Every structure is written in structure tokens, then in C-alpha cells.
Structure 1
Amino acid sequence: MAESSAAPATVTAAPTVLDELLEITAQSLVRTEVAEHYEVIRELGRGKYGHVVLVTHRQRGTPMALKLLPKASTKLHTFLYEYCVALSLATHPAIISMFGIAIESSQYYGFLYEPALHKDLISIIKPRDGIPEPAAKQCAKQLVSALEFIHSRGLVYRDVKPENVLLFDPECRRIKLTDFGLTRPKGTKLKLVAGVIPYTAPELSNTADAQGVPIDTSLDAWAFGVLLFCLLTGYFPWEQSLPDDPFFEDFMLWQETGLEENLPRHWKRLTAEAALMLRSLLALDPAKRGPVGGALRYVDCPWRLEDGCSEGAAVKP
């Protein structure tokens, strides 16, 4: 996201800066049909709320990624919020660059950002194998930097997963976070409205509080730990972070005891250092969970045993 029109935000000022940027963007939204200025080349991705296409500017020939959100199912404020959060974080080298153009057509809201022609991280994770360890460590270092930057702005990313990590080369020397629709200011109260997935932290999985749980950066640490496990093994550590999931039940026992004999069977392909790193990021108590930056203490250690067991729910591209 090339240039951000938002000034650097402090932890307390993040919501105010976003509100100001939202107001300015709403007033300057460009109303045009996509075909008037852009030629659609092909689809780059499709999700629950919209899709992304590769386009070129008809006059300049500039390749761009255009995210389109259907107006019929997207509130204007929702669109503007995602765009403005992305724009405010765009200066970081491991966060997707923006062109600073938001449009409204007859059917869509859309914004333009730099295209990642090597797809996303999920596309290179081999089921039950993962990715090469050097590439996993490259990802870890860049994601730590991006997440710490987001956290320094008083925000919680809330959507760490391989699909949201875009690749700019096959070896992961240059990756970037994208998709900020779920990003919220720290302290925002959140209720679990969708189903529990592997990346869902247990404090959200088990919440019965009708008022919601105030979110903090420990949510990102949990999801980051799950992502690292996927990169190193090619499968999820569990299907759901709930006690009735047998894989998660085994993990809870190991977290409580710390004994090597209780290490879940499908974790045995990891080195002791990697297991220690993930045990910190995946602490059951969010107050005891290590920050994302804690992973950097282990990047010079081996993470994977070549003759380890491979058993679990495979990550499918």
C-alpha cells in the first residue's frame, strides 16, 4: 500500500485517525465503471465477501490488483473501513502497497493495490509436508515485523492465515500481508459469530459473554503460532480449539504439564526449540501468551526434524 495519507497513529489515537481518514475518503470516492479505466486480465482470488482481479490501466498500462466488493452485500462504511485501514498501514514493507484509489461502480465498491503474481502462501504449502524451513523462517521474520507494526498502531490484525500472505517470489524472500477487513482497534469487544476454526484462540472459542471479549494482540500471536505449525508440517495442529477436539485435548495436556512424554504425536517432527517457540505463542491463557516477536529468538535454531511423524489434518490449498 504505497503511500498512506494517515499520519502515524499512537495506540490511543488509532480510532481517531481512522475516523478522519474514513470521512475524507467518503468525500473523495471516485464513481466510475471498471471497464472505463481498466482492462480486466484475470481473476486472482475469490473469498466470502468479494473477489480480486488483475487489471491494467487503459492509458498507462500499469498492472494492478482490484478488490471488488458487491454493493448488494457490502455496507459503504464496511468497505471504507477496510480500505482506510489498509491505506493507513501501507508504508510497511511487509504490508501490501496501495495505489490510493477507491472507486464505486454501479455494482461494486473497489480499491487498487499492488498485484502479487506468485499467489499466496497457501498455494505453496504441501499437505503433510509444509514448506522448506528456510522459507518458513523468511515468512516468520517478515510477518513478525508486519504484525508488530500493526500492533504499534493500536490495532489487532485478527486474520493471520496463509491465504492472507501474498508472495512476491517462490522462496518467500518477499511476502506481504493483505486483507484488513477484520482488523480492529485494541480493546474492541468481540463476540464469536462464526464457527471455530484452527486459528481461533481458545478465549474466543469458549466465550459465553454476551458483551464480547476485549481483543488484544494475543489473538494474533495465537493465529501466528498456528500458521507457523502449518508451514513446518503441512497440516493443522487441530481442527477446532475446543476440548472435544482430540488433537486439541492432547495439546492442552502438554501445555499443562510441559513434559516431553506428553508432546502430541503429530508434533514430534518439530525440534525442541520449535516446540518451545510454539508453546509460548499458543499458551492457553492469553495473559501468559508470548508476543509474536518472541519467534525471532528461535530463527537461528533448527525447527524441523527430518524423520518426524506426519499425522493430522492436512492443509489443503
Structure 2
Amino acid sequence: MTTNTQTPSTQSPRAVLVIGANGKTGRRVAQRLQAAGLPVKAASRSSETPFDWQDNSTWAPALEGVQSAYITFYPDLAFPGAADLVEGFARVALDHGVKRLVLLSGRGEEGARDAEQRIQNSGADWTIVRCSVFNQNFSESFAEAIAHGHLAMPVGQTKEPFVDAEDIADVAFAALTDNRHIGQVYELTGPRLLTLEQVASELSEAIGRTIEFHSVSVSQYAEELTQHGFSSEEALPIAQLISEVFDGRNAYLTDGVQRALGRAPRDFSDFANAAAADGIWNPKEVLS
């Protein structure tokens, strides 16, 4: 007599690809996925899973064993050719059976809007997460300068609704794990408009010492960016982009966080107080 037995499946669930997993939002999205018990394939130019936007031979291997992808583009979707690369990646993703794509996009950027449209027209199950300047730029990109009491950018008195990377990651995580977000464009902002002078004032209050804001030229800012790890080829276009985008085009609030998460966005003061409490802006001691 024979007995039919069913062998349990040992196939592992397919992973979520996080492009730019070392970045401000990618790192946080990966953490949320892992905390939820979901397998993550972290990809960047320096990770175990290599991914380089300028080397399309890295795309297909990164997509192996993947069910969905969080897409961030380096250095910025506003750069020439970025939309073409995003469109090409979407085609490769769909060829590998990866239909769920969540794109981090830029607010007020023509190139970013082009990339959004390429994703929307690709046949993917897409979600667009559109935002502008992150709170965490001040704690992760320019922490050293702020620790020494100054904040410099090539902008004037324009107001910006700075958005928190924790909110962005929460929205991206929701979009990757809940089909209700398919076909949605979430434009994210913080709850207030702030000038850079007001940002400096908020930082001063949180840190307990004066942080001064200086409006600098595009070339001066590009030079500062090179001191924070940007290549000379990247620094000037990024400085020019920031100068252009800070022209008031984004000086209005949206309800993207509320629509996606059912709660209010995190306020800049809450971010500043928490980062100050963590000692992010404490001057580094110089050992003699």
C-alpha cells in the first residue's frame, strides 16, 4: 500500500528590493521591512547586492528573487537622462516578474515628473512618493557644519515645507506592503512652511546655542558639498538644482502623509529636539 504525502514547501518568500539602501529613506524603509519580518534585498553601489544606475548590467541580478522594489535615484531625478534610466529599469523589472514599484520622486522638478510618467506608463503596479527637502539633511548631511554654528545654502527667504524621512519611510513601507496604495501619487510635506532662517532659529532653540544661516552663492555651496562627500561632477548641478527649486514653487502644504497614513506629518521642531537629544550636533572633540 502506498501513502500519498505532501511535502511542505520550503520556498522562501520573495524579497523586497531597496535601491539606495544606505540612503536617508532607503535605510529606513529597509529597517521597517525587516522589522515586519519581510526579506529585504539591500542594493547600492557599495552593498553586497551591487546596484549602479550607470551600469545596467547590475540591474537584473539585483532583481532576482524579488517581488517588489523601492526605487531611489542617485544623484537626483532632475539630472539629464535620469528618466530614461528609470524607464529602462522598469522594463527590466517587469521582465523579471517584479510588477510592484514604488518611486521616490522630487517635488517641483521637471525631470522627476518625467520619471514618474515613465513609471506610470510602464505597466507596473506603481506608487509615487513625491517630496522635496528632508529634515534629515540637517542631521545627516550638514551635521558637522551645524555643530560649528552655521548653516549655508544658496537660497534666500523662500519658505519650504521640510518633510521628515521617517514619514517618507512610513509611506513607502505602506505602499510596498498594502495594495490599497497602488496607483496613488502621495505628495508629502511637513505641517509648516519655514525659511532657512527659521530653520536655524529652530535648531538654535533645540541645541541650546546659536546657529546662524548664511545665504551663499551656488559655487560656494558646491564647494561645501564636495566637503560632505559629493564629487565635483555632482556638487555643482546639485547646488544649481537646490537654488532653482527654492524659488517658491514648493511653498505650499499637501495632505500626502495624512492620505497615506491617516495621521499628521512630523513637525520640524520634533525632529530637531530628538536629534539634539541624541547629540547629533555636538561639536566633535579634538584629541591632542
- Same fold (TM > 0.5): no
TM-score normalised by L of structure 2 = 0.26
Q: What is the TM-score of this pair, normalised by structure 1?
A: 0.24
